[in-house]
Structure 1
């Protein structure tokens, strides 16, 4: 296949059997909104500048409520369809915490809270983070530390899972009660550390629904990161193929060289694999199917580890410059590989489950991955 036949988008590789009209309209709206973001806005965001205008446009479109039921103010689309918004945001390197707010609202509404339209985030994100609750007077005291909490400094609400006597509780925190240490991810996106020791009212605390705990919360976040990674990798492929067709060396585009074409073929294969992983993670999101999400996150991380270096090799030195836009996507990809669990984290979980399945159960365990996506 010649470079001129590419790029191939993920929906050309993994076609959904059905997409509701509402979901299609949401995707079109997201493409228009995030597609208007220019490189200047991306640079400002990575320097710590918050765009209230950008968030207001996202909120007015209703995207933060995409996982909320229609009765709760959402659109009534299936979660696997709503995740398409996150993929589009990744494709355009969106400068707002869309995935985090969507997930925060899902957890809030399932616990009986009202959803929020202000930016929100969730904690814990990493295994090094933990929060505990104790009864104090007529209310609660929450204590703990969170590492790598995305967009915390800009969030109006931080939704946390905290432990009380061995049971998880959902806590809706006002950001102002947390002591924040501003940090950034490899992508330049806020990834703050927080320390909390504060009193809460009973209105701020709810028992977590049965299916929610730190492990399933991390899996839900990982599923959203896989969707973002799939979108960003699509963009990386498009940028790389375009550059290969435009960059002329020795009188012809470098995309005509067999060695470059082979590299582009490998890159396209990894993009397709990540698109497949995103489809599996999306189908597994609603049921919080940890093995499927674990496999998807591990495979997406592997795709990034192969694809991003190829993109930079094809671009040469220009791909590493601040002026070129490639780094907006590759740095996000490298950061997202580790957030909500790295390949090592999720592969270890899969390994333990495979051992537990035993010799007789290994094949059914392996073939069960993606079954939910195939059934759609």
Structure 2
């Protein structure tokens, strides 16, 4: 690992480690720190107010954010909203942003005309400074303050709000190439996979620590063979999740996000599978105490259960993987898997 990568990892550990908490609202103090350190818009070009980092850099930050259950819209602001605005040639505003597909939004053909419709399950909608909507080839920046907000949450109690707009003029509007419509769900899935890998790592660390501290029948339960086997299984799942998500980020950076679609699909599916196994084992090791609201384990396991269902489930991404394999046929399967001609 390079010195720069070490420095980035140390910075992430410091920033997110100090912000660990049990609240549910946006962590404004953490967001301010992310803005100050340039991590909030890490991958955006400097000309767009970003830090000019890579997707590999973002992988380090997002894994750390997942590990510490950070209450901030990093994926939404950096990988999605900021990227969409920059792709459309629009200015990226300050503050936390969110992004969503505008399937139910009525978008007029003429820019500057009012839009109406409802955006459902908008991540951090109530806390965002702007909502970026991708509707076909149109990108719209909307002010959430002009919407009727119906608050909702996911299983981890992160905001997933409904925003209803009635004749609202966008703050800005632009168009993007058709490739952006293909890339958007892949970026969302990659970001979610990295968060899942981080949360799984945290759940495993908690389970290992508890197993070494909890004494039963005169010895730590970590010395029981059954516990050791379960922790080893969880460790293998975490290793697979981290490797799959980091590899997908590396390929996306090297070849392009669309070109890395197979790796991203595999990463989101593999991280979702790991999430279920690791959460189950972590709670089994902790016993009844791990299910209480007062215990920190819930902060990561509820995120594992929530995030595995967001930005495409395992079944959905596995369908895409299967379709690619069938399309490749017997002679093309090995080149598809290895990336060789």
Find the aligned partners of 1:141 and 1:353 in 2 and give their Cα distance: 40
Asked whether the equivalents of residues 157 and 175 of structure 1 are also in contact (C-alpha less than 8 Å), the reply is yes
Residues 307 and 51 of structure 1: CA distance in aligned 2, closer, same or farther (over 3 Å): closer
Equivalent residue for 1:5? none
Equivalent residue for 1:10? none
Find the aligned partners of 2:116 and 2:328 in 1 and give their Cα distance: 38
Match of 1:211 among 159, 168, 179: 179
Indicate yes or no: 2:123 matched with 1:150.
Answer: yes
Indicate yes or no: 2:113 matched with 1:113.
Answer: no
Find the aligned partners of 2:94 and 2:59 in 1 and give their Cα distance: 18
SS in 2 for 1:63: coil
Find the aligned partners of 2:319 and 2:115 in 1 and give their Cα distance: 31
Match of 1:362 among 325, 329, 333: 333
Matches within 5 A, 1:19-34: 19=2, 21=4, 23-34=5-16
Find the aligned partners of 2:319 and 2:96 in 1 and give their Cα distance: 33
Q: TM-score, normalising length from structure 2?
A: 0.92
SS in 1 for 2:113: strand
SS in 1 for 2:154: coil
Asked whether the equivalents of residues 16 and 30 of structure 2 are also in contact (C-alpha less than 8 Å), the reply is no
Matches within 5 A, 1:275-290: 275-286=242-253, 287-288=256-257, 289-290=260-261
SS in 2 for 1:29: helix
The CA RMSD over aligned residues, in Å, is 2.0
SS in 2 for 1:68: coil
Indicate yes or no: 2:107 matched with 1:133.
Answer: yes
Equivalent residue for 2:74? 98
CA displacement at 1:54 relative to structure 2: 2.7
Indicate yes or no: 2:139 matched with 1:170.
Answer: yes
Equivalent residue for 1:271? 238
Runs of at least 4 residues of structure 1 off by over 6 A? none
Asked whether the equivalents of residues 153 and 180 of structure 1 are also in contact (C-alpha less than 8 Å), the reply is yes
CA displacement at 1:263 relative to structure 2: 0.6
CA displacement at 1:232 relative to structure 2: 1.0
CA displacement at 1:246 relative to structure 2: 0.6
Indicate yes or no: 2:101 matched with 1:124.
Answer: yes
CA displacement at 1:20 relative to structure 2: 6.5
Deviations 1:39-74 (A, max 9, x none): xx32x32xxx44433322221122122011233333
Asked whether the equivalents of residues 31 and 40 of structure 2 are also in contact (C-alpha less than 8 Å), the reply is no
Residues 61 and 330 of structure 1: CA distance in aligned 2, closer, same or farther (over 3 Å): same
Matches within 5 A, 1:311-322: 311-322=282-293
Unaligned regions of 5+ residues in structure 2, if any?
none
SS in 2 for 1:161: strand
Equivalent residue for 2:221? 254
Match of 1:183 among 152, 161, 164: 152
CA displacement at 1:258 relative to structure 2: 0.7
SS in 1 for 2:107: strand
Find the aligned partners of 1:357 and 1:271 in 2 and give their Cα distance: 30
Q: TM-score, normalising length from structure 1?
A: 0.83
Find the aligned partners of 2:201 and 2:261 in 1 and give their Cα distance: 25
SS in 2 for 1:148: strand
Indicate yes or no: 2:212 matched with 1:245.
Answer: yes
Find the aligned partners of 1:198 and 1:208 in 2 and give their Cα distance: 23
Find the aligned partners of 1:306 and 1:299 in 2 and give their Cα distance: 11
Deviations 1:49-107 (A, max 9, x none): 44433322221122122011233333232222122111111111111112211121122
Equivalent residue for 2:36? 60
Equivalent residue for 1:229? 196
SS in 2 for 1:115: coil
Find the aligned partners of 1:51 and 1:270 in 2 and give their Cα distance: 30
